[in-house]
Amino acid sequence: MTRGCAIGVDVGGTFTDAVLADASGDVTIGKVLTTPDDPRAGIVHAIERVLADSGLDASAVTRVVHGTTLATNVVLQRRAEAIALVTTKGFADLLRLGREARVEGDRYDLLFTPAPPPVDPRLTFEIAERVDAHGEVLVPLTDEAITEVVHRVAAAAPAGIAICFLHSYAHPDHELAVAAAFRDALPETYVTCSWEVWPETREYERAMTTAVCALVGPVMARYLAGLEAHLRELGIGCPIEIMESSGGVMSTGAAARRPVATVESGGAAGVTAAGIVGRTVGAGDVISFDMGGTTAKTGIVREGDPTITHDFQVGGKGSFGGARAGTGVPLKIPVVDIAEVGAGGGSIAWLDGGGALRVGPRSAGAAPGPACYGLGGTEPTVTDANLLLGYLDPAGLAGGVSLAPELAHAAIERAVADPLDVDVPDAARAIHEIVNAAMTAAIRVVTVQRGIDPRGFALVAFGGAGPMHAARLAATFGIRSVIVPWGAGVAAAFGLVSSDRTVDLVQTRIVDLEDLNDPSVVEAQFAELERRGRAELAAGEGRYVVTRSADLRFRGQAHQLTVPVTGGPFGGEDISVLAKRFHEVYRHTYGIDTDAPVQLVNARVRVVRVVDKPDRRPAAAGTSDVGAAQVGERPASFAEAGGFVATPVFDWSRLDPGHTVGGPAIVEGRDATIVVPPAHVAVVDGWRNLVLELPRPGVG
Amino acid sequence: MATIVDDAITGEIIRNGFAVAAEEASVVVVRSSHSTFIQEGADACAAILDARGQLVAQSTATSLMHGASLRCSLPSLLEDFAIDSMEPGDVFALNDPYRGGIHANDILVFRPIFSDGRVVFFAGTLIHVADLGGNAVAGLAALATDTFAEGLLLPPVHLYRRGEPAGAVLDIIARNSRAPEKVMGDVKALVAGVNVIARRIEELLERYGAEELERFVAASIDETERRVRADLCRLPDGTYRGTFPIDGDGVDPDREFAVQAAVTLDHGAITVDFAGTSPQARGTINSSFSQTLSGVVYAVRCFVDPTIPMNEGCFRPLRTELPTGTLVNPEPPAACGGRIMTVAAAVEAILHALAGARPDHAVGASALIHVFSLSGVAADGTPWLNLFYEFGGLGARAGSDGPDATGAFFLGGRSVLPQIEPLEAQYPLLVRSSRLWPDSGGAGEWRGGLGVETVIELLTDAVVTVRGARMDLPPPGAQGGAPGAGGVFAIERHDGRIDVLPSKAANVEIGAGERFVLRTSGGGGLGDPKRRDPELVRADVAAGRVTVEGAARDYGVELA
């Protein structure tokens, strides 16, 4: 296979980022404004730009990987056309009854109203059939019943059809027969069933996941077909791949079949990028910290792999970065475990009813933007505080926005400093540190709340605002090493070009380990999932990596922990190894031991086809003097220095591998600014990443 | 000046630290528990209290009833065990309703947290455990007439001493349970929860020191109190009255029960006097003092800024008059397992009273939780039992219909209901259908929310115990709105006969193949139904919430 060049393109709320990696590993980056009405215009623009800047011809492009927020937007904004849900007789109200949780302040809201379900009750159809928890058929599905339901649904002419029957994970035939009948009768209509989407127990989440597929599927199929046509016009002939929420990538065909898998596409790209950066510099365990304009997202990479969760809610509620079970739209798919808090550069500082200073979650966004943008914003934001603290250059940001300190000063004075009776620089410092506290909570959710001690991790900081706050966050957790990747502002797009083709599959089958006399039953289960995974990826050659895992629990419990399973074949001793590992993970997670029998609930398989990627070699150390990279000096505020001190400013693009910058210092890149606090040392590595080392552990 | 800013920053970090510790503990308890309704319901309470017993923070997903119980029980623990006698690694439990608890099945666990050899804080957790004896399974002794019939009572006792199990107590708990394996799993989940809190708070103590933490806790409680008082000041001063009936205790069918509340607002202070409330019942509907107090705190919080944190500062502006020997403050050994009926009646009485101060807050009454337990012996000979519940419709509000079948008041929403697939995988039963119950929402200009009809077929012989509320006297409407439909518990027998059960009944036999039918009440309507927009009636009919006949009968809208 000849190696061509790969393009990753990530669509965010404000910017669309593209990264082009050529065969030699050289990288070109591009950033353009997102075009919300049709994101494809921005994508085409970004790709044109990186092609022009790299001087490459479109025909040299052999891979395009796309990170999209289309699915999330469809779910949150309910923008899709009406779909139908077909379910077991007796359960038409499955989604409508729902599990809407009333959390936090909602409890006291006498006007609380749950969000409506994604399927109109008039488009919910029952069919006579019933299977029990063991997969035994209690009410057979008849041809008459199928004909009748197809007739009724066809009359309603929905844009998509979702099918979810009780216990179909244990016996898929009924769902598959009904799906086949719909596909025959309505070949133009998008049809999906829960067995094809995610056959795991718990009917509400499974039905919701299936319904979301039907909602997003038709929109996604049209969008991708259009995008491929646009790229062909540019002269790019290769198929597009889509980043999945689990960190792998899928074909456009798979994305149209299982569009729900793309809900955390962009977030997953960021964590994947953090893992790659970590591997490059020899750090297997990293915390990914992505802070943009509106939110900060954190995720965990262990031994090079992003941590995955199977409990995800789109638009879930709950403070401290965790979306609470039962809120939002729950999806039963593997998603990179991300905690998100409403804390970004645009987050607004305000005083609550008690006069306490709070920051976020409301954001000034791109319009009107922070006060210092001079675009009409009058509320003080984190960016305004960072400007007054001397961290940001008044001369401006990427994208040509210049910053007005006097507007930032006026906003902070009016809304924070005067009411609190403190001076403006103190108020700015408070805003900076309070937003740090909010982000601390997000890091805590993905680390200590999951039983992970963050101290052995490196923090990979990116996004427009991340590198300004990273060193302080690291100190809070006793993390000693902060890595800011070269191209920090487009790191997620970089993750896209570096990803592999992936399929995740699950199968529920509940059995006590002590009753598991024949391990070949489990082996057959894993082998079948593996076969299906390989079949889905069969489009290309290459190296395959298969990972097995199992969800286990103590008998009587309802929540599982996922434990890795050694590659097949699954034999007799694997049963006791599995039990032993589960006990270890359980003790580690809950700090307590139990001697109840252990149950196997789900078998999970991930099949990865490793994609040939450009190999970026480290550059040799430069010979220039670091002083040549210094472009100025300005006062910046550091608590340990007692306030403002003259701080040298360096141009990242002029720093060479091997250069060392001692704090206090500020390093300015094209799309990100790094704050190096006093006593910290920043080293430029062979890939131009900045690696900040903390003076000693635990200094805050 | 810098000190003010530093204080603000440190305060925010500490506030986050406490809140996240309580959240984390509540998640740990849910995920490691062995009772289906805890696992699926995410209903576990975790709280942090200071050495004086003040509530510092509590998990936010939980019912206030549980948080209030932890707060009111800690003084009892400190009465029996001098704080100086406690040692690191000690863990205590209790469940006595007359010492701050709720009823036998709700176990409270506490762990002291030390700094330099001194107890600075307490971690507390609470869940309804699988079974702790009593005269019906799963803590649902619907017809008990004293605490002794409700299960094993624990005065404050050591569960662990310096990190080692205090053997006898755990054995006694297991020996008194119909589900020893599950109850041990539940107790260990509670202990895992307090251990997590202790670990997190110890980290904060290490970083800031005890004095600094205590200073911020005191300041944050004072601040909360100030905010509650400031919001209450915005309501017009005066005394407002409300009363709300309870539809019986299941034991004395001829007795009528009501909670009466006189709410006095006076410059940000609020007094709730329950004089006139019915004497305590022989049945289980009595509410111990911690529970009544939780109802008062809940109702008051509906009239202040919902973002105010939940801590001791919410309790301070309140004064309650709880006449002894009444439903809201019974004397032992009155049974307390069904206290939710009195707590919820207290909430409605206060809401109705305060609607006099804020007419835009008028609401129709809501259906309450319908609780039942099923138990039997599975085909392989193992005994099984489970506690179930379902919600009814909420009352209509001025300007919007009541939500369908979800948790009223502090009950947190339908997320707490187990799903059908995991239930059927674990117990010998089949859910035949579960649907909204058309026409069950009380008619009104704004309609009450709908109840649910669920049909469960038993696969082995079983025993059912039920404890419903607001079924015989369904949730009333307000301002001319109709009441919701009254819920029903029934059994469809083999011969087609339908036995309708009383709303409270214990240990009724149901044969394999017979069906248990549950209909939950609808919420009360608000305003004259004839004033309802006919378009809304049509939409209700299209969505199956109102039948064509119901539209004509209740709203005068003909849609033939």
Quote the pLDDT of residue A280: 82
B-facing residues of A in 634-693 (CB < 8 A) are none
Integer Cα distance of A130 and A138 in angstroms: 5
- H or E element at residue A494: helix A491-497
B375 and B349 share one domain: no
Distance from the Cα of B151 to chain A's closest Cα (Å) equals 22
Quote the pLDDT of residue A2: 44
B-facing residues of A in 171-230 (CB < 8 A) are 201-204
Integer Cα distance of A317 and B306 in angstroms: 15
Integer Cα distance of A242 and A224 in angstroms: 9
B311 and B253 share one domain: yes
**B224 in any annotated domain:** no
**B7 in any annotated domain:** yes
Chain A residue at shortest CA distance from B397: A111
Split at pLDDT 50, 70, 90, the class of A699 is very low
Chain A positions touching B164 (Cβ under 8 A) are none
| Nearest residue, CB atoms, A556 vs list B24, B34, B421 | B34
Distance from the Cα of A603 to chain B's closest Cα (Å) equals 17
Mutate to test the interface with A, among B12, B423, B526 (most CBs of A within 10 A): B12
Distance from the Cα of B182 to chain A's closest Cα (Å) equals 7
Quote the pLDDT of residue A127: 98
Does A91 lie at the interface with B, CB-CB under 8 angstroms? yes
Integer Cα distance of A164 and A92 in angstroms: 10
Quote the pLDDT of residue A494: 86
| Model confidence pLDDT, tens digit, residues A576-631 | 899 999 998 887 766 666 777 899 999 999 998 888 776 667 777 777 888 999 99
B450 and B462 share one domain: yes
Q: Per-residue pLDDT for chain B (560 aa), expressed as one digit of tens each?
A: 345 556 666 777 788 788 878 888 887 888 777 776 666 655 689 999 999 999 999 987 677 888 999 999 999 999 999 999 999 999 999 999 999 999 999 999 999 999 999 999 999 999 999 899 999 888 889 899 999 999 999 999 999 999 999 979 999 999 999 999 889 989 999 999 999 899 889 988 998 899 999 999 999 999 999 999 999 999 999 999 999 999 999 999 999 999 999 999 999 999 999 999 999 999 999 999 999 999 999 999 999 988 788 999 999 999 999 999 999 999 999 999 999 999 999 999 999 999 888 888 888 999 999 999 999 998 888 889 888 889 999 999 989 999 999 888 777 666 666 789 988 988 999 999 999 999 999 999 999 999 999 999 999 999 999 999 999 999 999 999 999 999 999 999 999 999 999 999 999 999 999 999 999 999 999 999 999 999 999 999 999 999 999 999 999 999 87
| Nearest residue, CB atoms, A592 vs list B191, B230, B411 | B191
- What pTM was estimated for this model as a whole? 0.86
Among B306, B333, B360, identify where a domain stops: B360
Integer Cα distance of A302 and A604 in angstroms: 19
CB contact under 8 A, A121 and B8: no
Integer Cα distance of A641 and A636 in angstroms: 10
Does A515 lie at the interface with B, CB-CB under 8 angstroms? no
B371 and B320 share one domain: no
B132 and B164 share one domain: yes
A-facing residues of B in 185-214 (CB < 8 A) are 185, 188-189, 191-192, 195-196, 199-200, 207
B71 and B149 share one domain: yes
Does B225 lie at the interface with A, CB-CB under 8 angstroms? no
Among B360, B381, B397, identify where a domain stops: B360
Integer Cα distance of A474 and A298 in angstroms: 13
B319 and B267 share one domain: yes
Whether the Cβ atoms of residue A384 and residue A408 lie closer than 8 Å to each other: yes
Does B11 lie at the interface with A, CB-CB under 8 angstroms? yes
B93 and B195 share one domain: yes
Burial class (CB in 10 A: 0-12, 13-18, 19+), A683: middle
| Residue-number span of the structural domain to which B255 is assigned | 234-360
Q: Which residues pair with A511 in a beta bridge?
A: A600
**B434 in any annotated domain:** yes
B29 and B177 share one domain: yes
Whose CA is closest to B189, among B49, B45, B66? B45
**B88 in any annotated domain:** yes
Integer Cα distance of B141 and B334 in angstroms: 13
B76 and B177 share one domain: yes
- Number of Cβ within 10 Å of residue B79's Cβ equals 11
**B216 in any annotated domain:** no
Does B298 lie at the interface with A, CB-CB under 8 angstroms? yes
Instruction: Work out how many domains chain B is built from and give that number.
Output: 3
| Model confidence pLDDT, tens digit, residues A155-195 | 999 999 999 999 999 999 999 999 999 999 999 999 999 99
Chain B positions touching A420 (Cβ under 8 A) are 4, 8
Mutate to test the interface with A, among B27, B32, B125 (most CBs of A within 10 A): B32
Quote the pLDDT of residue A398: 55
Whether the Cβ atoms of residue A535 and residue A554 lie closer than 8 Å to each other: no
CB contact under 8 A, A101 and B305: no
B507 and B410 share one domain: yes
Does A109 lie at the interface with B, CB-CB under 8 angstroms? yes
- Number of Cβ within 10 Å of residue A120's Cβ equals 17
Among B326, B360, B394, identify where a domain stops: B360
CB contact under 8 A, A554 and B188: no
- Number of Cβ within 10 Å of residue B175's Cβ equals 10
**B11 in any annotated domain:** yes
Please determine, for residue A230, whether its predicted confidence score (pLDDT) is greater than 60: yes
**B225 in any annotated domain:** no
Please determine, for residue A695, whether its predicted confidence score (pLDDT) is greater than 80: no
- Number of Cβ within 10 Å of residue B42's Cβ equals 25
CB contact under 8 A, B307 and A100: no
The answer for residues whose C-beta is within 8 angstroms of residue B123's C-beta and 6 or more apart is B25, B46, B47, B48, B110, B111, B113, B193, B194, B195, B197, B198, B201
Please determine, for residue A294, whether its predicted confidence score (pLDDT) is greater than 60: yes
Does A132 lie at the interface with B, CB-CB under 8 angstroms? yes
Q: Which domains does chain A have, with CATH numbers?
A: 1-67 (3.30.420.40), 79-220 (3.40.50), 269-343+435-495 (3.30.420), 501-610 (3.30.1490), 630-693 (no CATH)
Please determine, for residue A3, whether its predicted confidence score (pLDDT) is greater than 70: no
* Mean confidence (pLDDT) of chain A: 87
Whose CA is closest to B173, among B131, B125, B127, B135? B131
Whether the Cβ atoms of residue A403 and residue A389 lie closer than 8 Å to each other: no
B384 and B315 share one domain: no
A-facing residues of B in 514-543 (CB < 8 A) are 542-543
Rg (CA), chain A: 26
**B370 in any annotated domain:** yes
- Number of Cβ within 10 Å of residue A104's Cβ equals 18
Quote the pLDDT of residue B222: 95
Please determine, for residue A112, whether its predicted confidence score (pLDDT) is greater than 70: yes
CB contact under 8 A, B9 and A433: yes
CB contact under 8 A, B13 and A437: yes
Integer Cα distance of B294 and B100 in angstroms: 11
